[in-house]
């Protein structure tokens, strides 16, 4: 009798591979189409709309997009990176501290505070985004506002609006708390016998053990901020200087023809493709190198939670 490790379904290997290959190809098709289209011309795309195989592959679109003299792409990328760093460091610190408090300290009111924080996971972001927009617009003594927040535009179209909201991420506090739970108290006790204080324990004892979960935090915050569109659209659509990548690309994609000095007779889709490719490639490369952490980040919360 042979025992297979996994259940055998009535489906042959050949059929399994065929289904997988065909369905995966369907999933990959739009991205493949986009990459091929981005290294061709409008003519290539019109000639063979099934799959725009370029007659002469060209990196012209990429050269224009990445040329600082022609576009603001690098500035937008820099803005996005500044935001990403901020939204990794601050929520990271907050999550580690809170995770420690909720898992390793016991005091009255702790669970009430945790439940209070958990509320935000249940509501859609828009419930607090609209009033937060008003708060930013009516921020006292900012952007021409008086002390009552009247008269000016507050932080709208200014950096603080992109950096103030959303610094407490309950999702990561929850994840860190679960991780702290899984670390036995012995490590901290040993360090305390040697005279270490709480901060010392956090940095020297716990931090090395938190590396995997913090890697997950860094990756997912990065992906989230890299693609963030809704909030920057709400608060910065009037100031191209502080556009983030996703917002800037949306405006830039109509500019393909004029950047090439061509008349606007046909839509320059290859340019749109190249822009999209630029926004996706960094994340794809990241995914290929850090696949393990991506999987852990998606699944870890569900399994541990």
Nearer to another protein, 107 or 195 (CB): 107
Least spacing, CB of residue 109 vs another protein, in Å: 8
Residue carrying structure tokens 């179209």: 157
Nearer to another protein, 56 or 122 (CB): 122
Least spacing, CB of residue 62 vs another protein, in Å: 15
Taking the CA atoms of 45, 46, 48 and 50 in sequence, report the sign of the dihedral they define.
positive
Contact by Cβ (8 Å): 161, 244: no
Nearer to another protein, 56 or 303 (CB): 303
As a whole number of angstroms, the distance between CA 238 and CA 86 comes to: 22
Contact by Cβ (8 Å): 159, 289: no
Contact by Cβ (8 Å): 246, 279: yes
Least spacing, CB of residue 127 vs another protein, in Å: 5
Least spacing, CB of residue 31 vs another protein, in Å: 7
Contact by Cβ (8 Å): 95, 176: yes
As a whole number of angstroms, the distance between CA 217 and CA 95 comes to: 10
Nearer to another protein, 63 or 285 (CB): 285
Closest CA to 97 of 78, 82, 117: 117
Least spacing, CB of residue 60 vs another protein, in Å: 18
């Amino acid at each position: 009798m042979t025992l297979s490790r996994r259940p055998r379904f009535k489906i042959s290997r050949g059929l399994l591979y065929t289904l997988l290959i065909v369905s995966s190809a369907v999933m990959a098709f739009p991205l493949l189409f986009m990459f091929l289209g981005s290294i061709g011309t409008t003519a290539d795309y019109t000639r063979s709309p099934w799959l725009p195989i370029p007659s002469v592959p060209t990196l012209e679109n990429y050269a224009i997009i990445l040329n600082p003299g022609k576009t603001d792409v690098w500035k937008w990328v820099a803005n996005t990176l500044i935001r990403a760093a901020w939204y990794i460091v601050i929520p990271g610190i907050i999550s580690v501290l809170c995770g420690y408090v909720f898992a390793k300290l016991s005091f009255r009111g702790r669970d009430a505070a945790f439940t209070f924080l958990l509320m935000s996971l249940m509501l859609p972001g828009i419930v607090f985004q609209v009033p937060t927009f008003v708060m930013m617009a009516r921020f006292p003594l900012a952007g021409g506002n008086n002390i009552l927040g009247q008269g000016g535009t507050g932080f709208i179209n200014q950096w603080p609006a992109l950096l103030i909201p959303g610094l407490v991420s309950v999702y990561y506090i929850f994840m860190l708390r679960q991780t702290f739970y899984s670390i036995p108290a012995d490590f901290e006790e040993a360090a305390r016998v040697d005279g270490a204080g709480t901060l010392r324990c956090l940095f020297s004892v716990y931090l090395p053990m938190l590396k995997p979960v913090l890697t997950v935090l860094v990756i997912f915050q990065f992906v989230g901020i890299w693609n963030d569109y809704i909030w920057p659209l709400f608060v910065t659509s009037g100031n191209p200087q502080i556009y983030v990548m996703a917002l800037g690309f949306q405006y830039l994609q109509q500019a393909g023809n004029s950047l090439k000095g061509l008349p606007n007779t046909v839509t320059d889709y290859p340019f749109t493709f190249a822009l999209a490719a630029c926004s996706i490639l960094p994340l794809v490369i990241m995914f290929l190198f850090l696949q393990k952490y991506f999987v852990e980040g998606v699944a870890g919360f569900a399994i541990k939670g």
